[in-house]
Chain A
Amino acid sequence: MEEQINLGAVKVSDDVIATIAGVATTQVEGVAGMSEGIVDGFAKLLTGSQLTKGVKVEVNEEEVNLDVSIIIKYGISIPEIAGKVQENVKKAVENMTGLKAVKVNLYIQGVAVDEKK
């Protein structure tokens, strides 16, 4: 991502966008943590795609699409938490980078299971 300003270009790494998204996600009550996909390591080696612990970033000029993988806490309503995460991530990315977050796709990979009673 690159912005032209009077004094020169400003570049924001995809990694930074992913980190912003990750932090915004974990701030939402009900998110137990981020989830890495099964081939994150291979994908990083071969494709160079920016996968920062559960966040995949795709930047198109002034817009960004994000795929966020999470584990949620037990007892949380998924439709409710999904909306909150998507809104929080969208707001954080747009405020901090100036990019328009077109899509925030959420992948709920698991439910954090507490210890058995």
Chain B
Amino acid sequence: MNFFNKAGLIINVLILWLVGTEGLLLATGWSNVVLLEQYLKLPNANLILAGIGCGLWIMGLLILYIDAKISQQKKAIIHKTIHGEVRVAKKAIEDFIKRISSEESFIKTIKPKIVIKRKGVKISLIVSLWSEIPANEATIALQSRVKEALESTIGISNIREIKVFVEEVTHRGGRLRGVEYTKE
């Protein structure tokens, strides 16, 4: 049983036990609604209840957040080998793209975004360029470089799209507005 199933199970069981115990106590007369109301009127009872309520809320949000993070982490390119599975995380691919892009002198900054679907991988690159070469030449060179590197080094064979968005070109005397190039 993985971490989330277990954590969720524990929390649900605790809540059910709490509610169930109170129900049993009410049914057997060990507790009654009047008694419950009296407990609620005790000093700090509201604070305690508010504390428990807030605690449960925060735990629920935390579990949702961690589950989302883990789902993100699990998104990966998967290869099967004779010894088991090899999963390459999205982050690894993004790190790799940043690294190969740093070798190109015309790239100032790059922000890769990877979308992994069953049909293939879609890559979006948001780049800032230096004005050494024209933006259209730079983007074509970048797309080819990224595609070749991902295929040979990472082993990704199903790249569907490498979209490049040039958000800035830096040269003397000012900046150009963004231009979008797409290669399919």
Contacts and interface: CB of A to CB of B under 8 A. Distances in A.
B102 interface: yes
Interface string B1-20: 11100110010000000000
- Chain B, interface size category, equals 20 to 34
B76 interface: yes
B79 A117 contact: no
B103 interface: yes
A108 B156 CA distance: 14
A106 interface: yes
Given A46-B10, A78-B154, A79-B79, A108 B89 contact: yes
Interface stretch (A5-13, A20-28, A37-45): A37-45
- Chain A, interface size category, equals 35 or more
Contacts of A110: 89, 91-92, 95
Interface stretch (B36-44, B66-74, B114-122, B158-166): B66-74
B6 A42 contact: no
Interface string A37-80: 11100110011010000000000000001000001101111110
Interface stretch (B26-34, B80-88, B139-147): B80-88
B88 A78 contact: yes
A64 B38 CA distance: 57
Given A39-B66, A46-B3, A107-B89, A79 B155 contact: yes
Nearest to B98: A113
Interface string A73-97: 0111111001100110010000000
B91 A117 contact: no
A105 interface: yes
Contacts of A77: 152-153, 155
A46 B89 contact: no
Given A47-B3, A104-B84, A109 B89 contact: yes
Interface of A: 37-39, 42-43, 46-47, 49, 65, 71-72, 74-79, 82-83, 86-87, 90, 103-114, 116-117
5 contacts: A46-B3, A47-B2, A47-B3, A83-B83, A86-B86
Interface of B: 1-3, 6-7, 10, 66, 69-70, 73, 76, 79, 81, 83-89, 91-92, 95-96, 98-99, 102-103, 152-155
